[in-house]
Chains A and B, each alone.
Chain A
Amino acid sequence: MAFPHRHDLETTTLLSRHMGEEEARHLDTWLERGGYEGLRKALTMEPEEIVQVVKDSGLRGRGGAGFPTGMKWSFMPGADDDRPHYLCCNADESEPGAFKDREVLRWSPHLLIEGCMIAARAIRARHAYIYIRGEFFPVLPILNRAVSDAYREGYLGEGIMGSGWSCDLTVHVGAGAYIAGEETGLMASLEGRRAEPRVKPPFPAQVGIFGQPTTVNNVETLAAVPMILTNGAEWYRQWGTEKSPGTKLWCCSGHLNRPGNYEMALGVPLKDILFDVCGGIPEGRAVRAVIPGGSSTAYLTPDELDCETTYEGLKEAGSSLGTASPIVMDESTCLLRATRRIAQFYAHESCGQCVQCREGTEWVTEILTRIEHGDGRMEDIDTLYDLCEQLTGRTICVLADSVVFPLKSSLDKFRDEYEAHILRDTCTAT
Chain B
Amino acid sequence: MSEELHPSVAGAQPYMREERQGSGTTDEPLFESDEGRERLEKIRSRYPSARPALLPLLNYAQEKNGWVSTRAMEEIAGALDLTPACVHSVATFYTMYNKRPVGRYLIQVCTNISCHLNRGDDVLERFLEETGTRPGETSENGLFTVVEAECLGACGFATVVQINEDYVENVTPEKVPDIVDALWARAEGRDA
Chain A residues proximal to chain B, CB less than 8 Å: 1-2, 4, 84, 93-99, 101-102, 132-138, 140-141, 143-144, 147-148, 151-152, 156, 168-178, 189-195, 209-210, 251-255, 259-261, 291, 295, 325, 327, 329, 333, 337-338, 341-342, 345, 348-349
- Beyond A98-B155, A99-B157, A210-B52, 14 additional contacts (C-beta under 8 Å) are A1-B167, A96-B150, A134-B96, A135-B152, A135-B162, A137-B14, A141-B14, A151-B6, A170-B9, A171-B11, A192-B51, A253-B156, A255-B118, A295-B112
Contacts of A144 in B (CB 8 A): 6, 9, 12-13
Tell me if B114 and A254 are in contact (CB < 8 A): yes
Tell me if A171 and B54 are in contact (CB < 8 A): no
Which of B8, B80, B94, B158 lies in contact with A176, CB distance below 8 A? B94
Look across to chain B and name the residue whose beta carbon is closest to the beta carbon of A193: B90
Tell me if A175 and B94 are in contact (CB < 8 A): yes
Contacts of A1 in B (CB 8 A): 167
Tell me if A253 and B112 are in contact (CB < 8 A): no
Of the A-B pairs whose beta carbons lie under 8 Å apart in the complex, a sample of 27, sorted by A's number, is A93-B153, A94-B151, A96-B114, A97-B151, A132-B12, A133-B153, A137-B15, A137-B166, A147-B8, A151-B6, A151-B8, A170-B7, A170-B46, A176-B94, A177-B94, A190-B52, A191-B52, A192-B51, A193-B90, A195-B93, A209-B52, A253-B156, A254-B113, A254-B114, A254-B118, A333-B117, A345-B113
Interface string of B111-129 (1 = CB under 8 A from A): 1111011100000000000
Query: What's the least CB distance linking A156 to chain B, in Å?
Result: 7
Which of B7, B47, B90 lies in contact with A194, CB distance below 8 A? B90
Interface string of B38-73 (1 = CB under 8 A from A): 000000001111011111101100000000000000
Contacts of B51 in A (CB 8 A): 191-193
Q: What range describes how many residues of B lie at the interface?
A: 35 or more
Contacts of A173 in B (CB 8 A): 11-12, 15, 55-56, 59
**6 tightest CB-CB pairs across the interface, nearest first?**
A192-B54, A176-B96, A175-B94, A176-B95, A137-B165, A171-B12
Contacts of B52 in A (CB 8 A): 190-192, 209-210
Interface string of B139-162 (1 = CB under 8 A from A): 000000000001111111110001
B171 at the interface (CB under 8 A from A): no
Tell me if A172 and B48 are in contact (CB < 8 A): no
Query: What's the least CB distance linking A94 to chain B, in Å?
Result: 6
Contacts of B112 in A (CB 8 A): 96, 295, 341, 345
Tell me if B56 and A99 are in contact (CB < 8 A): no
Tell me if B157 and A172 are in contact (CB < 8 A): no
B16 at the interface (CB under 8 A from A): yes
B105 at the interface (CB under 8 A from A): no
* Separation of A209 and B51 alpha carbons in the complex (Å): 12
Contacts of A93 in B (CB 8 A): 153
Given A140-B13, A170-B8, answer yes or no on A260-B162 (Cβ-Cβ < 8 Å): no
Tell me if B96 and A338 are in contact (CB < 8 A): no
- Name the interface residues of B158-188: CB closer than 8 Å to any CB of A: 158, 162, 165-167, 169
* Separation of A333 and B16 alpha carbons in the complex (Å): 35
Tell me if B155 and A99 are in contact (CB < 8 A): yes
Query: What's the least CB distance linking A385 to chain B, in Å?
Result: 22
B89 at the interface (CB under 8 A from A): yes
Look across to chain B and name the residue whose beta carbon is closest to the beta carbon of A131: B55
Tell me if B158 and A253 are in contact (CB < 8 A): yes
Tell me if A172 and B56 are in contact (CB < 8 A): yes
Tell me if A102 and B154 are in contact (CB < 8 A): yes
Which of A96, A148, A291, A341 lies in contact with B8, CB distance below 8 A? A148
Query: What's the least CB distance linking A241 to chain B, in Å?
Result: 25
* Separation of A192 and B80 alpha carbons in the complex (Å): 11
* Separation of A259 and B14 alpha carbons in the complex (Å): 28
Which of A156, A210, A261, A325 lies in contact with B48, CB distance below 8 A? A210
Tell me if B9 and A341 are in contact (CB < 8 A): no
Which of B49, B54, B56, B150 lies in contact with A94, CB distance below 8 A? B150
Tell me if A259 and B12 are in contact (CB < 8 A): no
Which of B47, B55, B167 lies in contact with A175, CB distance below 8 A? B55
Tell me if B151 and A96 are in contact (CB < 8 A): yes
- Name the interface residues of B1-46: CB closer than 8 Å to any CB of A: 3, 6-9, 11-16, 46
Query: What's the least CB distance linking A11 to chain B, in Å?
Result: 14
* Separation of A338 and B165 alpha carbons in the complex (Å): 28
Query: What's the least CB distance linking B88 to chain A, in Å?
Result: 11
Tell me if A97 and B12 are in contact (CB < 8 A): no
Tell me if A148 and B6 are in contact (CB < 8 A): yes
Look across to chain A and name the residue whose beta carbon is closest to the beta carbon of B158: A253
